[in-house]
Structure 1
Amino acid sequence: MQANDIEAVAAVEKAAAEFPWPQSQFEESFNSDHHCTVLEVEGVVLGFSVFSHAVDESTLLNIAIYPDIQGKGYGRLLLSSGLQTQQQQGAKQCFLEVRVSNVSAKKLYGSLRFDVVGMRKNYYPAKAGREDAYTMCCDLSDNTLVVV
């Protein structure tokens, strides 16, 4: 991700998420030590991922693909690539939270060896109050990541 991508990334997030991160959150991630990646085709930002990394653990903070092209493998490509990068930087595990209701994301994460390891009650904002999230974890220590 480059600084000039942040506005487009925020637009993808706004299109893809019911409760999107504000542009300022992407700016903060970009200006920190987070690993921010964009998926760009012919100069158009179609998706992004944001990982944090500390010691031997990483966390997927956010990932999204523009809604019109979801389901075509772009999210899998971004996530797989991000996990490989985290692994190369010494991460032994990667964690994430996912809405309990997000069936397609849970399927993607499961296909890349994420397992449910906990639940966070009332973690996400929702139209009717709050929604629970599963905490999921992927073991990166054995060098057998599923690659696209």
Structure 2
Amino acid sequence: MNMDPTHASQPPAAISPLSILDVSAMFRIEQLAHSHPWSQKLMASNFGGLYRDLGLWQGDQLLGYVIVRVVAGEAELINIAVDPAHHGQGFGRQLMQAMMALAQQEQWEQILLEVRASNAPAQHLYRTFGFDEIDRRKGYYPSAEGREDALIMRCFCPA
């Protein structure tokens, strides 16, 4: 039994839609989680209309988010991040589960994503949700060594 009082008082993490008002909290995580983070302006441009933005909250603290763009029943996971201080706690999995539930609810046909070729943990997570590699973009991402390939992965959504 865990008697650590710092964990006993924390509420469970919950998923809810994000709004433009959450961009500063998202941007903080973006800067911590990615080697080449998006700008705050770019993050703010991913709301409304075609976008589905979900956040994972513990109380009033944003722990992670997922941004999906949906066009005519086809979705693209364009950004997902979890605060590195909370890695290894299953929060990325929770965000993916929430996205997949939304896919079923909105009847998406498929979901596409791009992931760094070097990001084995993310690739493993995506594969557990039925994503398969379908292509590769040479030199797509900037990296410390110059450029890095992106793997394009796809998952067909169950009807």
Report the TM-score when normalising by structure 2: 0.85
The answer for unaligned runs of 5 or more in structure 1 is 144-148
Structure 1 residue 80 and structure 2 residue 97: aligned? yes
- 4+ runs of 1 displaced by more than 3 Å? none
Secondary structure of 2:47 counterpart: helix
Give how far 1:25 is off.
Answer: 1.2
Q: Does 1:124 align with 2:141?
A: yes
How far apart, CA to CA, are the structure 2 residues paired with 1:3 and 1:61?
17
Q: Which runs of 5+ in 2 are unaligned?
A: 1-17
Shift of 1:31: 4.2
Secondary structure of the residue aligned to 1:85 is helix
Aligned match of 1:134 in 135, 146, 151? 151
Deviation at residue 32 of structure 1 after TM alignment:
4.5
Residue 94 of structure 1: aligned partner: 111
Paired with 2:104 and 2:75, the residues of 1 have a C-alpha distance of 9
1:69-118 alpha-carbon deviations (Å, 9 max, x no partner): 11211001101111221232121110000000001101100111100111
Identity %: 34
The two structures have a TM-score, normalised by structure 1, of 0.91
CA distance in structure 2 between the aligned counterparts of 1:118 and 1:125, rounded to whole angstroms: 18
User: Which position in structure 2 is the counterpart of 1:12?
Assistant: 29
Q: Report what 1:63 is aligned to.
A: 80
How many pairs were matched up? Answer: 142
> Is the 1:125–1:131 contact (alpha carbons within 8 Å) kept by the matching residues of 2?
yes
Choose from 83, 97, 103 the match for 2:120: 103
Deviation (angstroms), 1:46: 0.7
- RMSD over aligned Cα atoms: 1.1
Higher Cα Rg, which structure: 2
